[in-house]
């Protein structure tokens, strides 16, 4: 089996990979995604994950499968990025309060032996309860929302925040195991996840 490289410094993605029993090395991508002010499209998010994986694949000189991923929170066609400060986090969570939004994670894997790329985007729907300003600020004061798209981590929230999740919870966290397995199997028939 080829060496697996995760082109992401996200501890949550590493945790999911570890849970799946995948042996991998982390080489974070330096690709600048720059999604500020852009409207959501699947082409856009797929391009970002692909470029993250390609940027790392171009730097290594051994046979590997390089995994790039990007997760966005989308309401309408607005992309919610990592908030720049606590006030921005409040604004994002206030907009999501009482609404259903999409969380899309695009995964791209590059086979460095021939630089072929497989990409798959997975969509989950998350519905928030109606949140009070006090609830939102209480969560923001933990500092946890500041490094996450949409200003929240689903794994940290209880039912006072989340009404329902449709689809993969791991996808919301940052990596869909099913999508990852499908892509790795396409590029390396010897790959086994279970």
Containing 91, the helix (H) or strand (E) segment is helix 86-96
Catalytic, 85? Answer no
Q: Across-strand partners of 189?
A: none
Q: How far is CA 158 from the centre of its chain?
A: 20
- What is the rounded distance in angstroms from the CA atom of residue 18 to the CA atom of residue 166? 24
Classify residue 69 by burial, with Cβ atoms within 10 Å: 0-12, 13-18, 19+: buried
Report the Cα–Cα distance between both ends of the chain, in Å, rounded.
14
Angle at 70 between CA 184 and CA 37, to 5 degrees: 155
Could you tell me whether strands 116-128 and 162-166 are parallel, antiparallel, or unpaired per DSSP bridges? antiparallel
Burial 88-120 (b: 16+ CB within 10 A, else e): bbbebbebbbeeebbbbbbbbbbbbeeeebbbb
Catalytic: which of 32, 43, 63, 70? 70
Q: Annotated active-site positions, please?
A: 70
């Amino acid at each position: 089996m080829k060496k697996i490289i995760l082109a992401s410094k996200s501890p949550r993605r590493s945790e999911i990979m570890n849970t799946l029993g995948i042996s991998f090395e982390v080489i974070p991508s330096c690709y600048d995604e720059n999604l500020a002010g852009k409207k959501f499209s699947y082409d856009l998010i797929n391009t970002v994950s692909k470029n993250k994986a390609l940027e790392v694949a171009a730097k290594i000189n051994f046979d590997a499968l390089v995994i790039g991923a990007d997760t966005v929170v989308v309401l309408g066609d607005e992309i919610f990025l990592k908030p720049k400060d606590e006030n921005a986090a409040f604004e994002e969570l206030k907009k999501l309060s009482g609404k259903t939004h999409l969380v899309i994670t695009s995964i791209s894997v590059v086979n460095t032996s021939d630089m072929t790329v497989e990409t798959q985007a997975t969509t989950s729907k998350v519905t928030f309860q109606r949140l009070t300003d006090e609830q939102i600020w209480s969560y923001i004061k933990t500092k946890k929302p500041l490094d996450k798209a949409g200003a929240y981590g689903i794994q940290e929230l209880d039912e006072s925040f989340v009404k329902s999740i449709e689809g993969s919870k791991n996808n919301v966290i940052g990596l869909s195991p099913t999508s990852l397995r499908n892509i790795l199997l396409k590029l390396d028939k010897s790959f086994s996840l279970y």
